[in-house]
């Protein structure tokens, strides 16, 4: 199969979808890999490393897209890339279609087949291709939140761990999944008082065991969210419903009642955000104010640490990419139910039910297309 890796074009997105090691693996299996010139530079991977692994390094992005059968990306295609869509192309990347009606309609109109990393889901409900970036985003959320609390960053001038004789910051983490647990780990390690809220009591028991009681766990409901958010200095939103828009847990009125200078970091922004006033921001302009609070809603947080993120992502995606390349996406999806859930769009048909619900579009089960 002809596999191509374009350079990412999203604001301050320095990751790349494939490492030289992954490139070597696919070429050894008989596939052709083309990497856009400079695609790996942001992740400290020079073109020479891809060439040494056997890849063709292509300076012409139009030629790269037009020749490819399978496009590997990190972030969802942006409007300038829609012109490359065609009915014999497969794209495998993070899509987040529930929060992006324009991209959904462009894929449907073009007939492109689109597989989403974030909806690949195993029987145990784990998300193997989202997990590594959730780990990165969760850990970053505590770090950028602590930075934003500093006075030069616009915050109240609060040191998260405090010092002897002062109070540490109160950190509320909404959602105890992979991202939330990693956020709690770093915030707790910094010395904050951390509360994790989740509706899953079994997950809260697991978190309590992981942290040996150092993190407070609370069953999430409207009253407890209100109490935790209004006393928090830093709120980290990490609620996820695979493929669907994130629920809005923090209202504008709740933000109005928060402490002046409090910070809200919305990890769920790729899926629409879990705070009412959230809207996507960039690494260039990461924050905005709502009432007297500061929102951080960067939609590609792991892009800030590409050296770590690129390798973690390829480690997770390569087995699935190998399967798609070896027998085609239909065969791979038929053999692997987890990968089948990653198929979002095919031949003008929407086959991911949560995305269909988000945009009030017709849904067709994938089983009717692949048997």
Query: Which residues are part of the catalytic machinery?
Result: 96, 270
How far apart (Å, rounded) are the C-alpha atoms in residues 274 and 268? 6
The DSSP output letter for 112 is -
How far apart (Å, rounded) are the C-alpha atoms in residues 364 and 368? 7
The DSSP output letter for 8 is P
The DSSP output letter for 292 is T
Helix (H), strand (E) at residue 33: strand 32-36
In the beta sheet, which residues pair with residue 296?
A: 265, 287
Contact present, 177 and 240 (Cβ < 8 Å): yes
Q: What angle do CA 298, 287, 72 make, to 5 degrees?
A: 15
How far apart (Å, rounded) are the C-alpha atoms in residues 89 and 334? 19
What 3-state DSSP class applies to 4? strand
Burial of 205 (0-12, 13-18, 19+ CB in 10 A): exposed
Contact present, 97 and 355 (Cβ < 8 Å): yes
The DSSP output letter for 352 is -
How far apart (Å, rounded) are the C-alpha atoms in residues 336 and 122? 9
How far apart (Å, rounded) are the C-alpha atoms in residues 179 and 176? 7
Beta strands in 267-338 (DSSP E): 287-290, 293-296
Q: Token pair of 159, please?
A: 């040191």
66: left (phi over 0), alpha (psi -120 to 50) or beta: alpha
């Amino acid at each position: 199969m002809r596999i191509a890796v374009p350079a990412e074009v999203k604001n301050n997105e320095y990751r790349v979808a494939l490492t030289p090691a992954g490139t070597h693996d696919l070429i050894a299996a008989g596939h052709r890999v083309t990497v856009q010139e400079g695609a790996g530079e942001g992740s400290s991977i020079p073109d020479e490393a891809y060439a040494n692994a056997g890849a063709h390094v292509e300076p012409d992005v139009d030629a790269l897209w037009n020749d490819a059968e399978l496009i590997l990306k990190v972030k969802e295609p942006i409007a300038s890339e829609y012109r490359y869509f065609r009915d014999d192309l497969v794209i495998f990347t993070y899509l987040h279609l529930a929060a992006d009606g324009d991209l959904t309609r462009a894929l449907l109109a073009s007939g492109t087949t689109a597989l989403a990393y974030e909806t690949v889901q195993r029987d145990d409900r784990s998300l193997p291709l989202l997990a590594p970036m959730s780990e990165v985003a969760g850990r970053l959320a505590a770090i950028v939140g602590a930075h934003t609390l500093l006075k030069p960053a616009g915050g109240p001038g609060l040191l998260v761990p405090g010092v002897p004789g002062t109070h540490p910051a109160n950190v509320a983490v909404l959602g105890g999944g992979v991202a939330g647990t990693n956020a709690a780990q770093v915030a707790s390690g910094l010395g904050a008082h951390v509360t994790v809220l989740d509706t899953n009591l079994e997950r809260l028991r697991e978190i309590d065991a992981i942290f040996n009681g150092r993190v407070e766990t609370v069953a999430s409901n409207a009253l407890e969210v209100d109490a935790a958010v209004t006393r928090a200095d830093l709120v980290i939103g990490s609620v996820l419903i695979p493929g669907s828009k994130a629920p809005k847990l923090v209202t504008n009125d709740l933000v109005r009642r928060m402490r002046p200078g409090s910070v809200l970091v919305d990890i769920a922004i790729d899926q629409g955000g879990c705070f009412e006033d959230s809207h996507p921001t960039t690494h260039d302009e990461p924050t905005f104010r709502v009432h007297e609070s500061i929102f951080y809603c960067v939609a590609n947080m792991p892009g800030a640490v590409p050296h770590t993120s690129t390798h973690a992502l390829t480690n997770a995606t390569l087995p699935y990419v190998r399967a798609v390349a070896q027998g085609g996406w239909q065969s791979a999806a038929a053999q692997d139910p987890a990968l089948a859930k990653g198929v979002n769009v095919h031949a003008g048909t929407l086959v991911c039910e949560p995305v269909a619900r988000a945009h009030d579009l017709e849904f067709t089960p994938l089983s009717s297309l692949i048997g």
